[in-house]
Amino acid sequence: MTHTRTALGISALIVAGCATAPPPPSAADLDRITEQVMKASFREQGIAKLDRIQQDQGQAACSSDTAPPEAVAKQIEAAAMAGVKWPEGGRYIGDWRVGETLAQNGRGMTWTDAAGAPSGGNCYNCHQISKAEISYGTIGPSLYNYGKLRGVKSVAAPESALIVQYTWAKIYNSKATNACSGMPRFGHAGVLTEAQMRDVMALLLDPQSPVNQ
Amino acid sequence: MTARRLAAALLMCGVAFAAQAQPSTADGIARYREMLADGNPADLFEAKGEALWKQKRGPKGATLEQCDLGKGPGIVKGAFVELPRWFADTQRVQDLESRLLTCMETLQGLDAKAIAETPFGRGEQANMEALAAYVSAASRGMKMNLPQAHAKEREMFEVGKRVFFFRGGPYDFSCASCHGEAGKRIRLQDLPDLTKNPGDGVGFAAWPAYRVSSGELWSMQRRLYDCYRQQRFPAPGFASDATIALGVYMGVNAKGAESIAPSIKR
Amino acid sequence: MATDPMRIRAQAQGSNAIVRVLMMHEMETGQRRDAAGKTIPAWHISDVTAQHNGKTVLTAHWGPAVSKNPFLQFTVKGAKAGDKVVVTWKDNRGESRTDEAVVA
Amino acid sequence: MNRQRRTALQHGASLAGLMLSLGLMPGVARAQAAGFNRAAFDAKSLADVLKAIGAGTPAESKDINLQAPDIAENGAVVPLGASTTLAGVKRILLLVEKNPNALAAAFDLSDSIDANVATRVKMGQTSNVYAVAITADNKVLFAQKEVKVTLGGCGG
């Protein structure tokens, strides 16, 4: 019955030359409509140009409430790892004091920031890091005692090499270890410079850093 | 039991327990918010909005008293908790601000496009925020109840969900990066999980709000605009479909949550 | 005269009335700079007076450290429902605003 | 303990100085009370005032109740209140030690006003705040408390 009525309705509409009560849009239709809505809704402002909503593969694959298929995730991770730029001369560790300042700093790359203005690391927005800072976020795991818990007694010691390199890769491109990580790709996206990344590394790994006290 | 034994031990050591007891940071923040709740400057904007609603303005010299916010011309109470919704006259799903824009244009003859392009907090945008405070206040204590009967309303929900999860920008953030899980916070600010009903007076049911940090009344449009700034995205247009779709997604998810808007926020 | 009205709530409690006032004002500190680096001059409410049934009962002096859109709470002894409370503020530019409320 | 006490006394002395020098003492300059006292609000810090004057020693008193949060989520709005059941309080002051200008607000109370006032102030950073009550017979009593100002979310 319903079926017949719908069919009749549609033919009547075709005669009338307009369309009401079409079938609900498919998921693919909705994806397409969303794409149009995104395109029509945003405008460039300051340094934030429209290329920022041109998704790369990793962004597109992680833009729903369901994780991408295992194979896609693995591919994203492998590509990210392959693209990690390791620090010049194997110098991974900088000054934890500068790292702490960077961790506190949540500025950079918004449309109210000037072009080329250095960015902060945004770390405390999402992570507990040093014990002294009580205003920390919980979106990411606690990084308090990061180096200590991983047995780092000296950053230069050969047995520390693995965790040092892992941490560098994680900061440079978080997708190298987790395709849909919530953390920005600080090196890959040019948020932090190599020198800044070294300082954040020191904050996490240097046994002298307050993080490891 | 353990706590009592601990207290006794401390007393025996000659240490006054009270002097040692440090209220937790969360308790401290809760107390701070409680102290601010009585005397919310949003009241000032609500009063201003009410005066604007009843004031003859614009080239047509008309009030907004015949504005149809979805429940019929002139009905303000209960309108807020059912927005965004489909409007037949504009053939669009509209949120509170975009609907006010329509009324300012059709009833008062004001230039909607010019208002949409005005920076927040200035000129007619400042009036818009006061009006949003007034309209939302008229539904204070009511439960969010967005309609989903119209196909376009359902479509906007689906689009809004996709916009919510859309990752982009140099930081790879989406709305879901911060608002996709319960019990999380940025620094000390609790983040409501907007993929479901986060509870009475939380998230969508708390905006517009008086922002303590800027001393201004922020509508949901301004809230979203600043979220996107911090997401490192380009700027969403005022009353653009992406922002309205997000409103539908968050509002439908919040069904049954009691509205406390206009509230007070950090 | 400043255009934005105050919100005054005066509630009888026992033999007193608790008065809560919200005022719309920038309360610019004089410490901030604009985009061009120029100091934004201080602009703040400097004087507040409260009257109860025509008699001045409270005078306050404020610096720019009082928050934007200020809140003030005080308690008038011996005030009862129906009494009139009038609050006036004056700022350092000479602008002022007076509003009143009836004790409820 | 000793160090704390010394600090308190130091602050106390500076407060008295601030009030005396700037005509805020009751009875000293009644006539001035009617207007905004520019100099009082221009004082840059308690230390500045301490240097300039050294008269009067206000006492820290349990009878003064200072209402302030332990922690403020935003320094732009910090609720501050002062109350006391002591009789004859004519003036209440609210101060923030580390603000560019220490004095935030001064209240002159008639007999019809309860010694119980509250407002909200800006704080640039974590600091001690003070509530000072001055009685008709020139007793100067105060309470103090540290208010932590936390860093805000996101852009902070």
Confidence label for D56 from pLDDT (cuts 50, 70 and 90): low
pLDDT at B197: 96
What is the rounded average pLDDT for all residues in chain D? 74
Which 8-state DSSP code applies to residue A134?
A: -
Confidence label for C54 from pLDDT (cuts 50, 70 and 90): very high
Q: Tell me the shortest Cα–Cα distance from D77 to chain B, in angstroms.
A: 6
Q: How far is the CA of B213 from the CAs of A105, A108, B182, B264, in angstroms?
A: 18, 19, 24, 10
Chain A touched by B234 (CB under 8 Å): yes
- Catalytic center residues of B: 227
Chain D touched by A117 (CB under 8 Å): no
Report whether pLDDT(D5) > 80.
no
The DSSP annotation for C25-63 comes to ---B-S--B-TTSPBPPPB-EEEEEEEETTEEEEEEEE-
Q: Looking at the domain assignment, is residue D4 inside a domain?
A: no
- Beta-carbon-side half-sphere exposure of residue D105 (alpha carbons within 13 Å): 32
Which burial class, exposed, middle or buried, applies to B248 when counting CB atoms under 10 A from its CB (0-12, 13-18, 19+)?
buried
Q: B225-234, C78-87, D67-76, D132-141 — which is least confidently predicted?
A: D132-141
Give the nearest chain A residue to D74 (CA atoms): A135
* Residue B22 · residue B192 · CB < 8 Å: no
Q: Per-residue pLDDT tens for C78-92?
A: 999 999 999 999 999
Q: Looking at the domain assignment, is residue D81 inside a domain?
A: yes
- Domain positions in chain B are 40-265
Range of the domain at D69: 38-149
The domain that contains D80 carries what CATH number?
Answer: 2.60.40.2470
Confidence label for A48 from pLDDT (cuts 50, 70 and 90): very high
Q: Do A137 and D155 touch (CB under 8 A)?
A: no
Query: Which chain D residues contact residue C77 at CB under 8 A?
Result: 111-114
Residue of D1, D70, D126 best to disrupt the B interface, most CBs of B under 10 A: D70
Report whether pLDDT(A98) > 70.
yes
pLDDT at D137: 84
Q: Per-residue pLDDT tens for A146-183?
A: 999 999 999 999 999 999 999 999 999 999 999 999 99
pLDDT at C22: 97
Q: If you average pLDDT over residues C18-44, what whole number do you get? A: 93
Question: For A154-199, what is the HEC assignment?
Answer: CCCCHHHHHHHHHHHHHHHCHHHCCCCCCCCCCCCCCCCCHHHHHH
Give all domains of chain A, ordered by start, each with its CATH number. Answer: 88-212 (1.10.760.10)
Q: Is the dihedral of CA C48, C49, C52, C53 positive or negative?
A: negative
d(CA A161, CA C80) in angstroms, rounded, equals 77
Q: Do D152 and B266 touch (CB under 8 A)?
A: yes
Report whether pLDDT(D2) > 50.
no
What is the rounded average pLDDT for all residues in chain B? 91
- Residue in D13, D94, D5, D14 with CA at minimum distance from that of residue D46: D14
* Residue A171 · residue A203 · CB < 8 Å: no
Q: Do B47 and C7 touch (CB under 8 A)?
A: yes
List beta partners, residue D59: D141
Q: Looking at the domain assignment, is residue D70 inside a domain?
A: yes
Which residues have C-beta within 8 Å of that of residue D45, sequence separation ≥ 6? D97, D102
Q: Tell me the shortest Cα–Cα distance from A135 to chain D, in angstroms.
A: 6
D12's tokens = 């106390």
A 121-160 residues inside an 8 A Cβ radius of B: 122, 124-126, 134-139
- Residue in A72, A71, A133, A75 with CA at minimum distance from that of residue A99: A133
pLDDT at B20: 32
Angle (CA) A43 A48 A52, round 5°: 85
Q: Is the ipTM of this complex over 0.85?
A: no
Residue of C7, C19, C68 best to disrupt the B interface, most CBs of B under 10 A: C7
Q: Per-residue pLDDT tens for B107-152?
A: 999 999 999 999 999 999 999 999 999 999 999 999 999 999 999 9
pLDDT above 70 covers a percentage of chain B that reads: 91
d(CA A123, CA B70) in angstroms, rounded, equals 44
The DSSP annotation for chain B comes to -HHHHHHHHHHHTT--HHHH-PPPHHHHHHHHHHHHHSS-THHHHHHHHHHHHTS-BTTTTB-STT-BSSSSBT--TTTGGG-SEEETTTTEEE-HHHHHHHHHHHTT---HHHHHHSPTTSHHHHHHHHHHHHHHHTTTTPBP-----SHHHHHHHHHHHHHHH--BTTTTB-HHHHHSSTTEEETTEEE--TTS---TTSGGGG-SEEETTTTEEE-HHHHHHHHHHHTT--EEPTT-HHHHHHHHHHHHHTTTPBP--SEEE-
Q: A43-47, A81-85, B163-167, D149-153 — which is least confidently predicted?
A: D149-153
Domains contained in chain D, number: 1
Query: Which chain D residues contact residue A125 at CB under 8 A?
Result: 153-154, 156
Q: Which of C22, C27, C67 sits opposite B44 (nearest CB)?
A: C22
Tell me the whole-structure pTM to 2 decimals.
0.85
The CATH-assigned architecture of domain B40-265 is Orthogonal Bundle (1.10)
pLDDT at D36: 57
CATH superfamily of C7-102: Immunoglobulins (2.60.40.10)
Q: Do B234 and A134 touch (CB under 8 A)?
A: no
Query: Which chain D residues contact residue A100 at CB under 8 A?
Result: none
Which stretches of chain C sit within 8 Å of chain B by CB? 4-7, 20, 22-24, 26-27, 67-69, 71, 73
Q: Tell me the shortest Cα–Cα distance from D6 to chain C, in angstroms.
A: 27
Q: Do C71 and B39 touch (CB under 8 A)?
A: yes
Chains with 3 or more CB pairs under 8 A to chain D: A, B, C
Q: Is the backbone of residue D56 left (phi > 0), alpha (psi -120 to 50) or beta? A: left
Helix (H) or strand (E) segment spanning residue A203: helix A194-205
* Residue D121 · residue D81 · CB < 8 Å: no
pLDDT at A84: 98
Q: Tell me the shortest Cα–Cα distance from D31 to chain C, in angstroms.
A: 13
- Residue in C71, C72, C77, C73 with CA at minimum distance from that of residue C57: C77
d(CA B107, CA B113) in angstroms, rounded, equals 15
Q: Do D153 and A107 touch (CB under 8 A)?
A: no
Q: Tell me the shortest Cα–Cα distance from C98 to chain D, in angstroms.
A: 17
Q: Looking at the domain assignment, is residue D14 inside a domain?
A: no
